[in-house]
Amino acid sequence: MDRYTPIFVNTSGKKCCVVGGGRVAERKIKGLLHAEAQITVISPELTPVLKQLHHESRIQWIDRSYRNGDLRGAFLVYAATDRSEVNSTVVRDAEAAGILVNNAMSSEHSSFITPSVVRRGRLSIAISTAGAGPAAAAEIRATLERQFGDEYETYLEFLHQMRTEVKSRVSSSSLRSTLLRQLTEMHILEDIRTGHFRWWTEEEIGDWISRNQEEV
Ligand SMILES: C[C@@]1(CC(=O)O)C2=NC(=C\c3[nH]c(c(CCC(=O)O)c3CC(=O)O)Cc3[nH]c(c(CC(=O)O)c3CCC(=O)O)/C=C3\N/C(=C\2)[C@@H](CCC(=O)O)[C@]3(C)CC(=O)O)/[C@H]1CCC(=O)O
Ligand SMILES: NC(=O)c1ccc[n+]([C@@H]2O[C@H](COP(=O)([O-])OP(=O)(O)OC[C@H]3O[C@@H](n4cnc5c(N)ncnc54)[C@H](O)[C@@H]3O)[C@@H](O)[C@H]2O)c1
């Protein structure tokens, strides 16, 4: 048993504040950008990459040390400075305002922690060691990245397309789940890996659904 509940939070368009502009802040910000968050970084200094992102207007920059009030309207907060007293103040202010907060210096003083993530299009595999060994989490990520290659991006895109079609064309939920289960048994991944996969046309999808509906 551990104290964390794994969830995937929708941060699209949500204001997320990152206090600190160093290497660790940069890593958190890259993850947030991937998830379409609206990012404000509060720090007197930024890494060259963060400066460039600010220059491109992809993140907002409050160019000074953290002050009480900076977290107003935030959905998530990351305390990622190299000063533990500043990070603790940020955690206290966020918690007082009811905002979930990550302290890059301490899992015990965080309301959430950041997992290591394997990304393959729609597939995300998040790994946490509950703070015991972040470097081990990164190592496990590297192992999984070798196991789950780029073929998963196409595979998940295909499953998404099929799922959307099945949902719009089949009204019975038990039939829908039977059809969707059949999809995962069709060696699509193997076809993608060996270069034999091609996208189905709308007509082919329709035919496959009717054919399999009859067989059930
Ligand atoms: C996974 C990843 C995600 C990310 O940050 O995006 C992540 N840390 C990563 C790397 C990493 N972190 C550290 C090193 C140096 C080696 C070492 O010390 O081991 C490396 C390796 C490197 O940098 O290459 C040092 C470190 N990390 C924390 C502390 C403080 C403490 O332990 O109390 C210290 C000591 C600082 C010091 O000594 O001053 C704390 C946290 N780090 C977490 C996440 C959370 C727990 C995740 C989990 O459940 O395991 C947690 C609790 C809070 C949080 O940040 O959310 C990312 C890998 C991304 C990837 O490559 O895939
Ligand atoms: N969670 C993780 O993954 C992880 C990994 C390695 C290290 N760490 C911890 O995170 C800390 C930060 O690491 P780093 O490599 O990014 O450090 P860093 O020195 O590169 O960056 C620190 C940043 O904090 C800013 N800062 C300092 N005081 C501030 C204030 N009052 N208000 C706003 N910003 C302020 C600095 O301007 C700088 O941009 C480390 O000290 C370490 O304890 C965490």
Of 107, 125, 145, which is best to mutate to test ligand 1, by the most ligand atoms within 8 angstroms of its C-beta? 107
pLDDT tens-digit readout, 152-167: 999 999 999 998 988 8
pLDDT tens-digit readout, 37-67: 999 999 999 999 999 999 999 999 999 999 9
**137 lies in which domain range?**
115-148
Q: Is the CB of 105 under 6 A from ligand 1?
A: yes
Assess whether 185 and 208 both reside in one domain. Answer: yes
Predicted complex: ipTM over 0.85 = yes
CA 122 to chain centre: 10
> Which ligand is nearest to the Cα of residue 23, counting in written order?
2
**Tally of structural domains, the chain:** 3
Of 24, 41, 86, which is best to mutate to test ligand 2, by the most ligand atoms within 8 angstroms of its C-beta? 24
* pLDDT number for residue 215: 63
Residue 72 lies in a domain: yes
Assess whether 140 and 101 both reside in one domain. Answer: no
Q: Is the CB of 137 under 6 A from ligand 1?
A: yes
